[in-house]
Amino acid sequence: MGEITGRQVFAVTSGAFAVIIAVNVVMAWQAVSTFSGVEVGNSYVASQEFEEKRDAQDALGWTLQPAYVAGQGLTLTFTDKAGLPVQLSNLSVLVGRPTNDNFDQRPDFQREAGVYRSAVTLEPGKWMLRVEAEAPDGTRFQQRLDLFVKG
């Protein structure tokens, strides 16, 4: 076996650092290209209205329970303080992965026996639901929920 020279050590060390830097650049590019990180357009304006909207929504007393069954789809059950189904309008649901907006979709929901159903198909893993609806009196209901689909 030959003698190790300074040039060989430099080449191996430089090569190792080049691989590490290349992997970091690829990972950073993937992170930035798959999720913008923007939740609201202007956080200052959103913060000024937050408490008022939260108090109005809390006064509704609604509870939202999501459920997903493979082959049957996604259901959303809205109930009031008494546990009865609520009547709502302008239901809008964004379904997507928490860290990647490439899978975002807005499924259509139909009301059946007080439960809102959609035939959406979700792959196994963690999903995020961003639900917006309106009460009969015009009060906005907004909630972000995590949903885990078993594989």
Encoded tokens for 32? 């930035």
For every one of its 151 residues, what pLDDT tens digit does the chain have, with 9 covering 90 and above? 689 999 999 999 999 999 999 999 999 988 877 776 777 778 888 788 888 889 999 999 999 999 999 989 999 999 999 999 998 989 999 999 988 888 899 999 999 888 999 999 999 999 999 999 999 999 999 999 999 998 7
Q: What angle do CA 134, 120, 66 make, to 5 degrees?
A: 50
DSSP 6-32: HHHHHHHHHHHHHHHHHHHHHHHHHHH
Dist CA 36 CA 46 (whole Å): 18
pLDDT score recorded for residue 32: 79
CA proximity to 127, closest of 144, 108, 115, 109: 144
Instruction: Match 């590490």 to its residue by tokens.
Output: 20
The predicted model scores a pTM of 0.68
- Please report the pLDDT score of residue 31 as a whole number: 81
Sequence spans of domains, the chain = 1-34, 51-149
Cβ-contact 89, 132 below 8 angstroms: no
* CATH class of the domain whose range is 51-149: mainly beta
